[in-house]
Structure 1
Amino acid sequence: MSQTHRSRGVLAADRETLLEIADVLDVLCDARVTLDPEAEHETALRVALFALLDKPTQETWEKVREVEVIPSYVPGLATPSPLGLTLGDIVYAFGLPDLICPSRRALLRALRWVAGEHGGPAQG
C-alpha cells in the first residue's frame, strides 16, 4: 500500500464497507428500473442513500427517511402510484423502528431485503 493511500485514512474495513454500500445501491437501483423503466436516472437517490449509509446519523435520517426508494403499483394501473415505498416505510416493514436512525448494518439489510422482495433476487 502506498503512503498516499494511507494518508487518506482508508482502511481495509472502510473499503469493504464502501463496496458493500455501492453493491446495495446498485441492487436497489436495478430493482427500481425493473419496476419502473422510467427510473433510470438515480443520481439523487444514490447521493441521498450514500450520505446516510456512509455516516448514519439522526440528522441525515430525518432528511432522507421520506425519500421514495421503491415505486409502488396499484392493481389496474400501468404507471407507478405517487405513493411509493419510502426509506422509512422499508425500515418499518423490515421490523425496525422508523423514528430513530437504524445502524448501517440494519439499513443495508433492509435495503437488500426490499430489493429482493420488489425487484427479484438480491445479490450478495
Structure 2
Amino acid sequence: MSKNNINAMSISKVYPLYVEKAERKGRTKEEVDEIICWLTGYSKEKLELQLEKGVAFETFFIEAPEMNPSRELIKGVVCGVRVEDIKEPIMREIRYLDKLIDELAKGKAMDKILRKAEEI
C-alpha cells in the first residue's frame, strides 16, 4: 500500500485493529485511547468525534490539537523501517502511533510508552 493510500485511510477503520491488538495481549481500549490522546492532544471526546466522522489519517493528524513534543523520543522499527528516519511527516506520525501500540501490546509500562521519564 502506498503512503498516499495510508494517508487517505480512515482512522476509524484502523482504530478497532489497534484495540484488538492491545486486548489480545491483555491491554485495554482505554490504554489505546490514552496513547492516542497523549500523541495528538485530542481529548477522549474529540477522539471519539474524529472516529465517528471517519476522518482520514492525514486529516486526523493535521487537525490534532497539539502533537506531543516528546513523540520525537520514539525510536525503533515498524514495518521494517526506523520511525526516526521517515521523512514524510504524516507517515512518521502514523508510524509513531503504530510503534506506541506495538509497545503496549508487548507489555511495556504506560509511563515508558508515554516517555514520562524522558520528556523533553
> TM-score, normalized by length of structure 2?
0.33
Kindly indicate which of the two structures has a greater share of residues assigned to strand. 1
- Bigger Rg over Cα: 1
Kindly indicate which of the two structures has a greater share of residues assigned to helix. 2
Greater relative contact order: 1 or 2 (C-alpha under 8 angstroms, separation 6 or more)? Answer: 2
> TM-score, normalized by length of structure 1?
0.33
